[in-house]
Structure 1
Amino acid sequence: MMIIKQEKWLQLILAIICMASISSAQYVWTLLTQPFMHKLGIQLPSLQVTFALFIVFQTFFAPFQGKLIDKFGPKRLIALGVVLSGLSWVFSSQASSLIELYLIYGCIGGLSTGIVYIGTIGLMVKWFPERRGFATGMVAAGYGIGAVVTTFPIHEALLNWGLDKTLIVFGIIFSCIGLLASLRLKTPQITVVQHIQQSQYQFNSKEMIKQPLFWLMFVMMTMMSTSGLMVTSQMASFSESFGVSHTMVFGMAALPLALSLDRVMNGITRPLFGFVSDICGREITMFVAFALEGIAMFVWLLCRHDPVLFILLSGIVFFGWGEIFSLFPATLTDTFGTQHATANYGWLYLSQGIGSIFGGPFAALLFQYTQDWSNVFYCAIFFDLITAFIAIIILKPWRYYFMNKYKKGYIDL
């Protein structure tokens, strides 16, 4: 039993490293927008299609990727994913047109990142059935906080080396680190006794998507993804409009400092709120976290011209957003079972792709049309607050009824 416990924690550490190795592709994208615009001679809305494609390909193929991982095991596919994710940076350095960037960074990068993301999350809900919120939060923290280590080095490299060399060097590093970690991953061979309320019926994906409760979770995660990805993909642009991006704070430029703080808070919130949800319940935790992001984003908008408050409040906004990647997979697995957890989460993860479209190019187009980021912020704030109330008013009683129904063995699929 001691060996099993040691193995599960080793698997968690390896999964975190794999996630950290792919995180910069999404979370450092905002630092790459200006260099790519300059290199290719394009406008922001056209460039942000790359980010939308990245998220779409990361998420829209997730159900298929989840089934492959469930069938063939995590090690080989996750290893392939981390290597291709790093190589997408290397090949993007050679892109000479927007179409090439779409295909390499957006499509290949998104597909490879999705394999790793879905694979590691699905693996951890099986290794830690009694602590799903915490375990998925820790792995998701690797994706959020991994970019903390690279934000300042990439920022400095872009200034000193330029775009192409930066992409090549860091792409190779990411591939090597991820590959070494992935080769030791494996699926657990035993089932741990459960101490949490959950459905006893093991839904496969076909059965799950017939349930209206699944689609409520899907809509909720779509709204939260839209809100967070608007900030993630547009931060360099709206900080420039607010006049704070190049302001020096504590001897450092405000934008990379804010991004580094955001990655820390985005990483901390995932295991923290996941752990809290294991104890206090998923829906109550959702209400608190989502409402926190909405309120913080409103205050952030009011204080947008103060560089110090801009940095601090950006951290609070990310603290209220990042936990969706621990709360939703844990809630989904509690509700629909562990047997098909990886493939099932792949279906829910599609919502991230839809959110990227609204949070990426649509948000950029709204700003281009109105020349005011406030309208974009108000949409995100509305999504945060309405989702918070849905969690406590609709999701909580509905899920309680659903789980008790299937716990008693009623099947009406």
Structure 2
Amino acid sequence: MAVAHSARPKAASSTSTRWIQLGLGMIAMMAISSPQYVWALFTGPLTEKLDVPLAEIQVTFSLLIILQTFLAPAQGYLVDRFGPRLLLSCGAALTGLSWILASQATGLMGLYVTYGILGGIGTGIIYVGVVGMMVQWFPDKRGLATGLVAAGYGFGAILTTFPISRSLHSEAGLSGTLMTYGIIIGVVGIIAAIGMRRPDEDQLPQSTLDTPSNDAVLEEGGYEPRQMLRSPIFWLMFVMMTMMSTSGLMVISQMGAFAHDFGVADAMVFGLAALPLALSIDRFTNGLTRPFFGWVSDRIGREYTMTIAFGVEGIAMTIWLLWAHNPVAFVLLSGVVFFGWGEIFSLFPSTLTDTFGTKHATTNYGFLYIAQGVGSVLGGPLAAVLHDMTDSWNVVFGVVIAMNFLTAFLALVVLKPMRDRHREQSYADGDLYLAARQDA
């Protein structure tokens, strides 16, 4: 284990460079966001085309998230080892290709392999790689930077939700829509990936221990993955992120289904169909919350921010369920729900890197990101099965609402004291290390 430094930040030799990298990272994330965030638009056409139950169609979504997440440690290691340009370009190409090939799928297995497996591998490389780059480029603004690129992943689908919805109902249909937008996704993602690179040491401000966002960064190496995996803090964060991922992914994957069950999917709200309007608003709030709460956490601390955000989602989801049959309430409250959820993609990677250091940040976050895959299983097909067993969404909502409040509680009452003790030990290790270097 390496130790923390207490040096003050020094001026970056090229301030603009890292903001250019941030912009490229946001573009890459926007390009590969649609496979996850517009999935609800495809469930109906795919169920009709393939003539299979919804639960079997939803396996595609779970494969997408599982492959995106369970391969993340290996993908993160490759990015750390060989750099982002090649790996991220491959990720963008695979993501676009997944939709192009899915447009020709005639059975479930073809859909699983193309949209699910290829899409999961491609989006996973981009997501983990970009987040891993940003926690290294911005040691002094880690919450904000990871929030902004994660916002790109949330905002990106705003640009495609209505065009894809219209395309699905046009002569292009399902196949033409997947083909056209697959090409667009691949080209835009590759262009952004070509410009990305790792930071040089002399281009960055040095991390400090006296800023809330960097209270225990171990700059001279940090924790290796095997060291991190022995820490109870990592596993607590893994459980917390799993519960929060389950909550959001249940809504993302099942929203089309329960909107139809509540009778609001095709209702007109502000002159637009309720379901695509809700999905567009969700993409906006899901993107906005990531830099916002990341910025807040840079100032008041990660755990306090988690408690506030997760509590907001739990309250909003409770009210949403009670008013779900009202089209206007359904649309507006869905946006509040996502405002309380999307920040997990800025808070968790920032907290993890604060705790375990930057050198292995991409690989380490890859292990934590597996929690998103676990959440996809719980929030996708298992939620659909639970609904089919109970013939009601009340039980499904009740479970995820409880997860929200439990995670908010754990952040403040359990995670914060554990990280405080970890930080104190880091200080002690740092003092011993500096003393040893002076003696040498």
The one-letter code sitting in structure 2 at the alignment partner of 1:130 is: D
Shift, 1:83, TM fit = 1.1
Structure 1: segments with no counterpart, 5+ residues: none
TM-score (norm 2): 0.92
Shift, 1:3, TM fit = 6.2
Question: Which residue does the alignment assign to 1:202?
Answer: 222
Q: 1:265 aligns with which of 273, 285, 289?
A: 285
Question: Which residue does the alignment assign to 1:276?
Answer: 296
Task: Find the aligned partners of 1:162 and 1:374 in 2 and give their Cα distance.
Answer: 34
Structure 2: segments with no counterpart, 5+ residues: 1-10, 433-440
In the alignment, is residue 193 of structure 1 matched against residue 206 of structure 2? yes
Q: 2:259 aligns with which of 228, 231, 239?
A: 239
Shift, 1:407, TM fit = 2.6
Q: For each residue in 1:63-110, what CA deviation from the matched residue of structure 2 results, as whole angstroms up to 9, or x when unmatched?
A: 011110000001110011011101100000111110111111111100
In the alignment, is residue 72 of structure 1 matched against residue 82 of structure 2? yes
The one-letter code sitting in structure 2 at the alignment partner of 1:61 is: L
Task: Find the aligned partners of 2:359 and 2:86 in 1 and give their Cα distance.
Answer: 20
Question: Which residue does the alignment assign to 2:3?
Answer: none
Secondary structure, aligned partner of 2:141: helix
Shift, 1:369, TM fit = 1.0
Structure 1 segments of 4+ aligned residues over 3 angstroms from their partners = none
Task: Find the aligned partners of 1:407 and 1:12 in 2 and give their Cα distance.
Answer: 31
Question: Which residue does the alignment assign to 1:87?
Answer: 97
Q: For each residue in 1:351-390, what CA deviation from the matched residue of structure 2 results, as whole angstroms up to 9, or x when unmatched?
A: 0000000000000001111110111100110000000000
Question: Which residue does the alignment assign to 2:68?
Answer: 58
Task: Find the aligned partners of 2:176 and 2:255 in 1 and give their Cα distance.
Answer: 24
Q: 2:57 aligns with which of 37, 44, 47?
A: 47
Question: Which residue does the alignment assign to 1:12?
Answer: 22
Shift, 1:223, TM fit = 0.2
Task: Find the aligned partners of 2:60 and 2:186 in 1 and give their Cα distance.
Answer: 21
In the alignment, is residue 353 of structure 1 matched against residue 368 of structure 2? no
Question: Which residue does the alignment assign to 1:101?
Answer: 111
2:216/2:426 contact within 8 Å kept? no
Question: Which residue does the alignment assign to 2:173?
Answer: 162
1:199/1:404 contact within 8 Å kept? no
Task: Find the aligned partners of 2:180 and 2:357 in 1 and give their Cα distance.
Answer: 42
Structure 2 counterparts to residues 336-347 of structure 1, below 5 A: 336-347=356-367
In the alignment, is residue 294 of structure 1 matched against residue 314 of structure 2? yes
1:133/1:274 contact within 8 Å kept? yes
The one-letter code sitting in structure 2 at the alignment partner of 1:279 is: R
The one-letter code sitting in structure 2 at the alignment partner of 1:45 is: A
Q: CA RMSD in A?
A: 1.1
Task: Find the aligned partners of 2:276 and 2:136 in 1 and give their Cα distance.
Answer: 36
In the alignment, is residue 217 of structure 1 matched against residue 230 of structure 2? no
Shift, 1:406, TM fit = 2.1
In the alignment, is residue 25 of structure 1 matched against residue 35 of structure 2? yes
TM-score (norm 1): 0.98
Question: Which residue does the alignment assign to 1:130?
Answer: 140
Identity among equivalent positions (%) equals 54
Q: For each residue in 1:318-350, what CA deviation from the matched residue of structure 2 results, as whole angstroms up to 9, or x when unmatched?
A: 000000000000000000000100000000000
The one-letter code sitting in structure 1 at the alignment partner of 2:48 is: H
The one-letter code sitting in structure 1 at the alignment partner of 2:410 is: I
Question: Which residue does the alignment assign to 1:177?
Answer: 188
The one-letter code sitting in structure 2 at the alignment partner of 1:310 is: F
Task: Find the aligned partners of 2:48 and 2:15 in 1 and give their Cα distance.
Answer: 51
Task: Find the aligned partners of 2:22 and 2:260 in 1 and give their Cα distance.
Answer: 38
Secondary structure, aligned partner of 2:380: helix
Q: For each residue in 1:159-184, what CA deviation from the matched residue of structure 2 results, as whole angstroms up to 9, or x when unmatched?
A: 00210000000000111111111111
2:99/2:182 contact within 8 Å kept? yes
Task: Find the aligned partners of 1:404 and 1:199 in 2 and give their Cα distance.
Answer: 12
Task: Pick the structure with greater CA Rg.
Answer: 2
1:199/1:407 contact within 8 Å kept? no
Task: Find the aligned partners of 1:206 and 1:67 in 2 and give their Cα distance.
Answer: 13
1:301/1:374 contact within 8 Å kept? yes
Q: 2:151 aligns with which of 141, 154, 174?
A: 141
Q: How many residues are treated as equivalent by the alignment?
A: 411
2:217/2:358 contact within 8 Å kept? no
Task: Find the aligned partners of 1:186 and 1:138 in 2 and give their Cα distance.
Answer: 18
Q: 1:317 aligns with which of 303, 325, 337?
A: 337
1:199/1:403 contact within 8 Å kept? no
